[in-house]
Structure 1
Amino acid sequence: MKKNLIFLLSFVLIGLCSYAQDQGKKVLTNVVNENSNQASFKFEKDEFDFGNLKQGESSTYEFKFTNEGSEPLVISKAEGSCGCTVPVYPKEPIMKGQTAIIKVTFNSTGKSGVQDKTVTITSNAKQNPMVLHMKGIVEKPSEPASTPGTTPK
């Protein structure tokens, strides 16, 4: 009798373990299927080189993108890496196949040398977060030449 009880309990435990493994596969399959229906960014360019700017000048670029996913694309936030990089993004949903822009302005005031500024976009797209780059070189203003016999102030 004792052997039968041990055999029965072993059989039940094996059955429960098999059931739990099957349930894990179903959850994973649902997650994969859900992701295949998401919105999706397709940018013409995700990096813009503004070349050389004189300190104090600004550069603006419009990053053009298309929603290639099957669901509406909703951007919840777009943040520049510093206060000198300001994005303007669409607040309304971008429907499947629709094109829109994210306008980014870089202000070089107080900057010099090589710059690589980013805009991080938070959305419901597969590529979340999405990062855009604006880069280039900011030239310092030239110092006025001092006249012989005078000292700079």
Structure 2
Amino acid sequence: MKNLVAILFLGLLSLGLNAQEKVAKIEFKTDVIDYGTIEKGANGVRVFEFTNTGNAPLIISSVKSTCGCTVPKKPEGPIMPGEKGEIEVKYDTNRVNPIRKTITVVSNAETPTVALKIKGLVVDPDKQSVLEKKPKSSVEQ
């Protein structure tokens, strides 16, 4: 009887350990995208690439930005172990200013919340900086 109880206990313990081993892991190629200096109205779409390095399906439940000027798009279905996925981010480049935004990714991964960042500068080529020297016209000479 003792042997039967011991075998059942070990069996339940090994089942519990096996269940805990199945976990999704999200690994991003980079967690920061630098737009650099881009012109007003330029293409504001960039992509964060990731891989599910775990051994369970990865399900991204939400992807949110810190403001309405940045629109993230998450994958619809689960990402199977070893597969790659993308999170597309579109920044409104009609806003002339520095870019400093955070995109929060929530999933069933071992690390359930990941912060991604975009940065850069949107400039208007039609407006000249007050710091730049203007060429002298023939009237001023």
The count of residues paired between Structure 1 and Structure 2 equals 112
Counterpart of 2:93? 108
Match of 1:57 in 2: 42
2:120 paired residue number: 136
Tell me what 1:90 maps to: 75
Deviations 1:106-141 (A, max 9, x none): 11323413x211111111011221111111012245
After superposition, the CA RMSD in angstroms is: 2.2
SS in 2 for 1:109: coil
Q: What is the percent sequence identity of the aligned residues?
A: 34
C-alpha distance in 2 between matches for 1:125 and 1:81: 22
Matching residue within 108, 112, 117 for 1:124: 108
Q: Unaligned regions of 5+ residues in structure 2, if any? A: 1-15, 129-133, 135-141
| Equivalent runs, 1:21-100 vs 2, <5 Å | 34=20, 36-100=21-85
Higher helix fraction: Structure 1 or Structure 2?
Answer: 1
Distance 1:119 1:62 in 2: 12
Residues 95 and 122 in structure 2, CA contact (< 8 A), matched pair in contact too: no
Q: Which runs of 5+ in 1 are unaligned?
A: 1-29, 146-153
TM-score using structure 2 length: 0.70
Larger Rg: 1
The answer on whether the counterparts of 1:77 and 1:123 sit within 8 Å (CA) in structure 2 is yes
Taking the aligned partners of 1:99 and 1:44, their CA distance within structure 2 comes to 10
TM-score (norm 1): 0.65
Does the CA-based 8 Å contact 1:55-1:112 persist in structure 2? no
